[in-house]
Amino acid sequence: MVVVTASAALMAPLLAPLLTGTHEVPADRRMENDFTTASDEYHVPRSVLLGVAYLQSRWDSHGGAPSVGGGYGPMHLVDARLAQSPSPETPQPDGALALAGPTAAPAPKSAGGRSEQLSGLQRAARLTGTPENRLRTDIGANVRGGAALLADTQRRLGKPLSDDPADWWDAVARFPGISDTASAAAFANDVFGVIHSGARRTTDAGQSVTLPASPDVRPRGAGSGQSKDVECPRELVCSWLSAPYTQINEDEYGNHDLGDRPRDQKIEYIVIHDTEASLRSMFQTVQDPTEASWHYSIRSSDGHVTQHIKTKDSAWHSGNQFVNARSIGIEHEGFLKQPDAWYTEQMYQSSARLVRYLAKKYHVPLDRQHIFGHDNVPAPTDDSIPDMHDDPGPYWDWRHYFDLLGAPLKATAGADSPIVTVLPDYASHKPRFSGCAKDGATCSPHGSSAVRLYTEPSENAPLIQDPGRHPEGDDSTEDVNDLGSRVSAGQSYAVAERRGDWTAIWFQGEKAWFRNPKGAPTAVGAAGRMVTPKEGLSEVPVYGRALPEAAAYPPGVTEPDDSPLPYTLDAGQRYVTTARLTGSYVDRSVFQYTPGPVVKGQEQYYEIQLGHRLAYVRASDVDVVEGPALAGPESGTEKRSGR
């Protein structure tokens, strides 16, 4: 086939030294040699083997630790004895169909005559004659086990061990660990999408791996097996499990608000959460009218999507009613302290596909001021700051996520721009955190999207303090849940000062320093606009929500308190803004069967990147400073306006 010939030609220079003997293989290319060797031994196209491993793990081995689905190594060989299984009482979404086909070898008979179902890990051990423990911990053995499984499945489908990757679609869809037909089809299409476009990265074990693009290899057409209730892209099959809108007692109702978005309220944000619980527990939560709610859940093991609330309605998911009214909330099964076990590539892929669809449908900009984490949601009031959430945490790979969204985070202005975008290299950037296993204990080194901030240009200086998060005057810490002194990939800030390898930004009213060496920058130049207090004002207040002016509220609707946050923008400080909006408010005091009115005023606000979280300032209090518009030699120019 043309595809195979082209791929082989592309790989020939790369693989020449690998095929002459393992003693000549460069240390950082041993994993590539493992894929080549396993491909030759089991007659599985190398691109298929690499594509499956990329979608299972992005070729990472996680030090031999299992995922929550019980999967090990780059091929994610599943030991079903470790995988979580739902309890009989767990509500199940519509549309999750059992996977038919030869997903496992014929079940052998036990001594008592009963049949046993073999997991992928066990099958691989029998097919290769390799001990299970070695398949868990040895990268080469793990890759070889995955190749054996694919070849065995292809034979059981009655298909030849073809050199044409396209002939392996059904075998890929039945790779062990995929739990239903919808997810299996999506997985196979994602694998063939990676084969089509190619991939390259350095793994967590320091291995350089390349999958050359095969333009003639393409995914199959979109499926049509979605539940009729869901709002999802055609290529992502989704399920439906409804959240209740019901009255609890005379004064309370739950667990979301009826709306008519975007007609009555523009959808401006998509909020990324993690569940901090198993999905089966969250399915029970979302059906309880006394609990919180969200629009979508995404399963860790295979990226399966379940919708709970129509996007026209507002879920109670962010801890800030203003944000809820303007956003869609997406929960990802997982725990922020255990990223390797829960933040799977299939979950990233499904989530990005869903967000791309929603962002296009509702015209949501694909940037970090509109696609953000629960940990970036501003507290609505001063006293609610300590209660705001921290997920998805410092180990969520925002850089990779925006690559999947088709909106890569990158420099948009020169290195001397007055604005920077935080952009550490996720794999190599490993700041110290504590509290993953137990309070105070240092977490294992791990790639991170987070960059830590100091009061002076030195790692020996105190951390920046957050008077809202630590109202009693406690110091910021390195705890994995403490957001008080860190920023995250994709967030943009105004530069306050530069000294050698250090850059200072304006952060919650303070000058905050982070290490930013030119040879390995943790932030890059950015285009954009900033706001600064109007001339003559020594400071301006900051808010966690943009409310209408008093005259906008109709009779019977009580105006909420302004409640400015315990931060100010002082004269001379600047903060990046990406949006100007009008104040609005939705009254949640009455249960009714039709959407309640949205109170809309005339007061204008700018959304700003205040600290780790977003915030709002009144447009009448600030001037806009135009930063550089494009990358280029004039990237440092700026001008001020009163808009």
| Euclidean distance between the first and the last CA atom of the chain, given in angstroms as a whole number | 61
Backbone angles phi, psi at 167, to 5 degrees: -75, -5
> Mean pLDDT for the chain?
88
Q: Which of 144-153, 176-185, 367-376, 491-500 has the lowest mean pLDDT?
A: 176-185
Q: What is the pLDDT of residue 246?
A: 95
The CB density around residue 105, as the number of other CB atoms within 10 Å, is 17
| Residue 633 pLDDT > 50 | no
Alpha helices (H) in 43-119, listed in sequence order: 46-57
Q: Which of 158-172, 199-213, 216-230, 333-347 has the lowest mean pLDDT?
A: 216-230
Q: What is the pLDDT of residue 229?
A: 79
CATH topology of domain 2-211: Lysozyme (1.10.530)
Q: How confident is the model at residue 9 (pLDDT cuts 50, 70, 90)?
A: very low
Burial letters 383-394, b for 16+ CB under 10 A, else e: ebbeebbbbbbb
The CB density around residue 273, as the number of other CB atoms within 10 Å, is 25
Beta strands in 360-457 (DSSP E): 371-373, 419-422, 450-452
Q: How confident is the model at residue 114 (pLDDT cuts 50, 70, 90)?
A: very low
Q: What is the pLDDT of residue 5?
A: 35
Tell me the per-residue pLDDT of 554-611, one tens digit each, with 9 for 90 and over: 998 999 998 999 999 999 999 999 999 999 999 888 888 899 889 999 999 999 999 9
Mean pLDDT, to the nearest integer, of 469-487?
89
Contact call for residues 126 and 148 (beta carbons, < 8 A): no
Contact call for residues 149 and 123 (beta carbons, < 8 A): yes
Which bin fits 618, alpha (ψ -120 to 50), beta or left (φ > 0)?
A: beta
| Residue 334 pLDDT > 60 | yes
Q: How confident is the model at residue 39 (pLDDT cuts 50, 70, 90)?
A: very high
DSSP 8-state code for residue 4: H
Distances (CA, A) of 140 to 12, 147, 171, 483, 523: 21, 11, 21, 39, 36
Mean pLDDT, to the nearest integer, of 349-359?
97
Q: How many residues does the chain have?
A: 643
Q: What is the pLDDT of residue 431?
A: 97
More confident residue, 315 or 183: 315
Return all residues near 251 (Cβ < 8 A) that are at least 6 apart.
Answer: none
Contact call for residues 272 and 372 (beta carbons, < 8 A): yes
Return all residues near 107 (Cβ < 8 A) that are at least 6 apart.
Answer: 115, 116, 117, 118
Tell me the per-residue pLDDT of 158-196, one tens digit each, with 9 for 90 and over: 999 999 999 999 999 998 666 667 778 888 988 999 999
Alpha helices (H) in 67-202, listed in sequence order: 120-128, 132-137, 139-156, 169-173, 181-197
What's the half-sphere exposure (Cβ side, CA atoms, 13 Å) at 380? 12
Q: What is the pLDDT of residue 119?
A: 84
Q: How confident is the model at residue 105 (pLDDT cuts 50, 70, 90)?
A: very low
What's the half-sphere exposure (Cβ side, CA atoms, 13 Å) at 609? 28
Mean pLDDT, to the nearest integer, of 35-61?
97
Q: Parallel, antiparallel, or unpaired for β 502-507 and 510-515?
A: antiparallel
In the numeric block, which tokens belong to residue 334? 């997982």
Q: What is the pLDDT of residue 621?
A: 98
Contact call for residues 577 and 623 (beta carbons, < 8 A): no
Q: How confident is the model at residue 4 (pLDDT cuts 50, 70, 90)?
A: very low
Q: What is the pLDDT of residue 225?
A: 56
Contact call for residues 144 and 75 (beta carbons, < 8 A): no
Q: How confident is the model at residue 374 (pLDDT cuts 50, 70, 90)?
A: very high
Mean pLDDT, to the nearest integer, of 273-288?
95
More confident residue, 478 or 63: 478
Calpha distance 55→545 (Å, rounded): 39
Domain spans of the chain, in order of start: 2-211, 532-629+636-641
In the numeric block, which tokens belong to residue 598? 């949205």
SS3 5: helix
